[in-house]
């Protein structure tokens, strides 16, 4: 019943904000749109109505709007501008509620925790909002900090939407075999996991700390330090970062930031996190990405909001890297072979047919600037191809695909001439060399050194025991073989002696008959 009530509420919001009219107008059915909206006053602009509807529907729908907002190449300007407000300008909840949450979390009055606390939030999104403050650390040092506070009641709202999504996924799976190939239930389960992770700010702080360690030597991105004395599942206190939102391109240019280099650095950061670390920021919309204008770090990325991160196993990384490398070399046969070897397509699939299909999709996009390429269109054509060859969707890679779309959207804003392929190719080739070269061998030896050092003194004893066991096993096998041979010999002897006796009997009988005859 709860699912159906939620579905009715969603339908009511759609009608209230005239989203049905928006869809029909998008399909150029304006006459029908006027009919279905008769009697409703839809005076607000379409982009504003869409944004307000998503805000009204809750955090899952807001996140959907955030993803859409990064794809200005796919949306009209007015809608893209409105959806961009969902990145960090969702209507905030009352500051008194934020203060009460902080005091309940740390069991102290606000004044005992912060020297100053700005009541007006500096940013407000679907899951939490952020206030600036000054904190007194354990050693007495004063630090400028950002305080992230979870919105109240988020778990109940998210559970309702996820329950509805599970029901719809079940409908989709029962619809057809082709729909089951998409694994809708597994995809929803992945989404469920990431959303629940985002509701735990301790987990987010741990994600941030891991990314900060991973990125230390790259000098391309800054990640705030977590103040662990003030971390709670509902409250997170971190280093205050000062930068300009990456979407404010005019301010970046005026400050002297090289946008082309910024775009290339973004690609490098993404591929480093994915292929070197297997641990990547998976919510890279412009509201979570800023650029430093400080003299010592001018043009360096600032990453925020680490509630959603993606992880890849060593198998996933190697498979993806080989696919990308083969793709960049235009080795479509290898791409087809990798899909078959991984089990993503049925084993009886013909390599030459899959190779030709991949070539048809990808070849037109090489050596072209990003402004002439729609990764969304490429993915759509690949999806059509995958349906033909029964390619199974991999739920663990859904976040990676979403992040790729975000990266492309950011790249378009910074440098439409960016050649995504040529920028990524050298990095992937270096990574593949590191995986099989002497450096990787030395790392393996270094990592396994303590284990080998422990085993080495035991090797003589282990070898002696192994040889003894083998010798005992060999002796046992030899005894069994000899026994079997003896049994076989006795059987053969019986057969020979029996045959001789039978032949001798025949000869004797023949002699007796002859004597009587004569």
Q: Render pLDDT for 321-333 as a digit per residue (tens, 0 to 9).
A: 777 778 777 888 8
Please give the C-alpha separations between residue 83 and each of 26, 66, 251, in angstroms, as whole numbers: 17, 7, 21
pLDDT at position 292 is 96
Average predicted confidence (pLDDT) for the chain:
77
The Cα–Cα gap between 507 and 510 comes to 5
User: Is a pLDDT exceeding 80 seen at residue 516?
Assistant: no
> How far is C-alpha 135 from the chain's CA centre?
35
- Sign of the Cα torsion 295, 296, 298, 303 reads negative
User: Is a pLDDT exceeding 80 seen at residue 472?
Assistant: no
pLDDT at position 441 is 63
Cβ atoms within 10 Å, residue 436: 9
Taking the model in full, what pTM does it have? 0.70
Q: Find all residues with CB under 8 Å of 377, minimum gap 6, and list them.
A: none
Q: What confidence category does residue 214 fall into, taking pLDDT thresholds of 50, 70 and 90?
A: very high
Instruction: Quote helix, strand, coil % in the chain, to nearest 5.
Output: 65, 10, 25
What the block records as the tokens of 144 is: 């400028």
**Most confident residue range from 15-19, 336-340, 344-348:** 336-340
User: Is a pLDDT exceeding 60 seen at residue 488?
Assistant: no
Cβ atoms within 10 Å, residue 179: 14
User: Is a pLDDT exceeding 90 seen at residue 124?
Assistant: no
- Among 283, 305, 316, 415, the active-site one is 283
Q: Render pLDDT for 359-398 as a digit per residue (tens, 0 to 9).
A: 887 787 766 665 666 655 665 566 566 667 776 666 667 6
Whether 200 contacts 158, CB under 8 Å: no
Please give the C-alpha separations between residue 383 and each of 305, 358, 456, 513, in angstroms, as whole numbers: 30, 11, 53, 95
User: Is a pLDDT exceeding 60 seen at residue 500?
Assistant: no
The Cα–Cα gap between 427 and 325 comes to 10
pLDDT at position 162 is 76
* Dihedral, 342, 348, 354, 356 alpha carbons, nearest 10: 140
> How far is C-alpha 61 from the chain's CA centre?
19
Whether 127 contacts 304, CB under 8 Å: no
pLDDT at position 344 is 72
Closest among 65, 61, 52 to 16, alpha carbons compared: 52
Quickly tell me which residue has 């053969």 as its tokens.
492
65 or 228: which carries more pLDDT confidence?
228
Whether 352 contacts 312, CB under 8 Å: no
Q: Quick one: 450 exposed, middle or buried, by C-beta within 10 A (0-12, 13-18, 19+)?
A: exposed
Query: Which secondary-structure segment (H or E) carries 42?
Result: none
* Dihedral, 453, 454, 456, 462 alpha carbons, nearest 10: -160
User: Is a pLDDT exceeding 70 seen at residue 486?
Assistant: no
> Three-state DSSP class for 376?
helix
End-to-end CA distance of the chain: 114
20-39: burial string, b at 16+ Cβ within 10 Å, e else: bbbebbeeeeeeebeeebee
Least confident residue range of 55-64, 118-127, 180-189, 352-361 = 180-189
Q: What confidence category does residue 287 fall into, taking pLDDT thresholds of 50, 70 and 90?
A: confident
The Cα–Cα gap between 385 and 378 comes to 11
Residues in the chain: 518
Closest among 48, 22, 52, 26 to 36, alpha carbons compared: 22
Q: Render pLDDT for 70-83 as a digit per residue (tens, 0 to 9).
A: 656 557 778 878 87
pLDDT at position 293 is 95
The Cα–Cα gap between 256 and 379 comes to 35
Q: What confidence category does residue 471 fall into, taking pLDDT thresholds of 50, 70 and 90?
A: low
Q: Find all residues with CB under 8 Å of 335, minimum gap 6, and list them.
A: 323, 326, 327, 355, 358
pLDDT at position 34 is 54
Q: Render pLDDT for 78-103 as a digit per residue (tens, 0 to 9).
A: 887 887 777 667 788 999 999 999 99
Residue ranges of the alpha helices (H) in 114-199?
Answer: 154-175, 177-181, 184-198
- Whether 283 is catalytic: yes
Reduce the secondary structure of 335-346 to three states and give it as a string: HHHHHHHCCCCC
Phi first, then psi, for residue 465 (nearest 5°) are -65, -40
Q: Per-residue pLDDT averaged across 400-414, rounded?
A: 76
């Amino acid at each position: 019943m709860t699912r159906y009530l939620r579905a009715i509420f969603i339908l009511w919001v759609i009608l209230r904000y005239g989203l049905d009219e928006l869809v029909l107008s998008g399909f150029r059915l304006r006459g029908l749109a006027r009919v279905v909206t008769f009697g409703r006053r839809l005076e607000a602009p379409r982009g504003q109505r869409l944004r307000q509807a998503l805000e009204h529907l809750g955090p899952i729908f807001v996140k959907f709007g955030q993803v859409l907002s990064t794809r200005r190449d796919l949306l009209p300007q007015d809608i893209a501008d409105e959806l961009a407000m969902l990145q960090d300008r969702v209507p905030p909840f009352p500051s008194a509620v934020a203060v009460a949450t902080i005091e309940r979390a740390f069991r102290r009055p606000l004044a005992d925790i912060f020297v100053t606390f700005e009541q007006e939030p500096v940013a407000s999104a679907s899951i939490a909002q952020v206030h600036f403050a000054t904190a007194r650390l354990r050693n007495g040092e004063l630090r400028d900090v950002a305080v992230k506070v979870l919105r109240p009641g988020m778990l109940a709202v998210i559970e309702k939407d996820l329950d509805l999504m599970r029901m719809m996924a079940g409908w989709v799976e029962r619809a057809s075999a082709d729909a089951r190939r998409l694994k809708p239930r597994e995809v929803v389960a992945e989404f469920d996991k990431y959303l629940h992770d985002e509701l735990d700010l301790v987990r987010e702080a741990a994600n941030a700390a891991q990314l900060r360690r991973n990125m230390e030597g790259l000098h391309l991105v800054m990640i705030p330090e977590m103040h662990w004395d003030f971390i709670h599942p509902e409250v997170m206190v971190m280093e205050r970062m000062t930068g300009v939102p990456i979407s404010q391109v005019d301010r970046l240019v005026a400050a002297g930031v090289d946008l082309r280099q910024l775009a290339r650095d973004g690609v490098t950061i993404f591929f480093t996190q994915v292929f070197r670390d297997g641990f990547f920021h998976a919510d890279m919309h412009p509201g979570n990405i800023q650029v430093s204008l400080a003299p010592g770090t001018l043009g360096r990325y600032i990453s925020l909001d680490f509630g959603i991160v993606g992880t890849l196993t060593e198998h996933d990384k190697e498979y993806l890297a080989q696919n990308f490398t083969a793709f960049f070399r235009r080795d479509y046969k290898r791409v087809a072979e990798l899909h078959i070897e991984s089990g993503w397509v049925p084993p009886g699939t013909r390599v030459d047919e899959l190779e030709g299909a991949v070539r048809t999709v990808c070849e037109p996009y090489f050596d072209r600037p990003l402004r002439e390429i729609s990764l969304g269109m490429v993915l759509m054509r690949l999806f059509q191809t995958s349906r033909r060859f029964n390619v199974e969707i991999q739920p663990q890679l859904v976040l990676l695909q979403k992040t790729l779309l975000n990266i492309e959207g950011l790249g378009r804003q910074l440098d439409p001439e960016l050649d995504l392929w040529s920028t990524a190719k050298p990095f992937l080739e270096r990574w593949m060399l590191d995986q099989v070269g002497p450096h990787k061998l030395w790392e393996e030896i270094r990592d396994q050194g303590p284990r080998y050092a422990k085993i080495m003194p035991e090797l003589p004893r282990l070898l002696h025991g192994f040889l003894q066991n083998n010798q005992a096993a060999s002796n046992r096998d030899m005894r069994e073989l000899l026994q079997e041979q003896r049994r076989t010999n006795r059987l053969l002897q019986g057969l020979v002696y029996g045959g001789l006796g039978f032949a001798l009997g025949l000869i004797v009988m023949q002699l007796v008959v002859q004597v009587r005859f004569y």
